[in-house]
Amino acid sequence: MSDQPHCSATQRAATRSSHQTRVGSATCSRRTFARRLTGLALVATTGMAATGCASHQYGHMLASDDKDMVGSHAAGAATWNPLVDESVAKLLSRCPPSVQPAGFVPGEMMAPAIDGSVTPALSTGPATVCFIGLENRSAEELVDFKEQLYERIDSQINGAQTFRSISRRMVDAALRETRMRPDSLYLPENRSIFAAALGRQGTPVDYLLYGTITTGTTDRNKSTQRDYLLTLEMVNLHSGDYLKESAKIRKGYHKTRAGKWWNFGLFDQADG
């Protein structure tokens, strides 16, 4: 009988020791798990931050027959390139290929006159076009497209058989020399001074070319229609006469993909 309490106390001590051991092991396991979880969270956070900073971007080459991208917030290549192509083609088709005949070119064929004498043939040659600049009066910033539009227009003029354009560097130098703004060349006396400045550089001028970009915006709730207009004006430097041609492209902007069908769908419901 006297041994039972002793055994019970011993058993209770062993039980407490075993329980403390299990509690200690569980506490260590929880601490280890917490440390590992914290480490994983730190790694994940660091990885997300690194991914956000890197902002991976992928590129691919476009073939010549691939479609141009349609900008989601502003005009882009799909808008500007057709505008330039159409307006330049329409303008050059209306302008006379030569303004005044050039003089006799040595070595050219002689044309017989009525009395039988031989007279030199006249060489007309291509008309020279001075592209003054492209003015942006639209609701959008052209950013890097402005320079590209200038070069595209200039290249297409040079590509025509009956026209050739004057170097932009010469045009800028003549404007600086005469201290004139592009719009001041509408006055006859200013045109003469400007033409004389270019003539001293060996580049006679037949036409002055001005380009203007404008937009018209129509809002309907969360959708917008924007009309882009590129106008080219060709001024005859000798007579002051001018021709004007333009090209227009309409474009819709919407907050959702369904906006296109809601405003320009099957039932022509683009009303207020």
pLDDT in tens, 242-254: 899 999 999 999 8
At the top level of CATH, the class of 77-93+124-262 is alpha beta
Question: What are the tens digits of pLDDT across the range 63-80?
Answer: 888 888 888 889 998 999
Q: Taking residues 9-38, what's their average pLDDT?
A: 59
Question: What are the tens digits of pLDDT across the range 130-189?
Answer: 999 899 999 999 988 999 999 999 999 988 888 888 988 999 999 999 999 888 888 888
Residue 220 host element (H or E): strand 207-220
Token pair for 22: 């299990």
Assign 91 a pLDDT band (cuts: 50, 70, 90). Answer: very high
Show Cβ contacts of residue 243 under 8 Å, excluding neighbours closer than 6 positions: 91, 94, 95, 233, 234
pLDDT at 227: 96
Task: Please state whether the predicted TM-score (pTM) of the whole model is above 0.85.
Answer: no
pLDDT at 119: 38
Cβ 129 vs Cβ 166: under 8 Å = yes
Token pair for 165: 């354009």
- For 227-250, give one letter per residue: b (16+ CB within 10 A) or e: ebbbbbbbbbbeeeeebebbbebe
Q: Taking residues 218-234, what's their average pLDDT?
A: 93
List the domain boundaries for the chain.
Answer: 77-93+124-262
Assign 103 a pLDDT band (cuts: 50, 70, 90). Answer: very low
Assign 17 a pLDDT band (cuts: 50, 70, 90). Answer: low
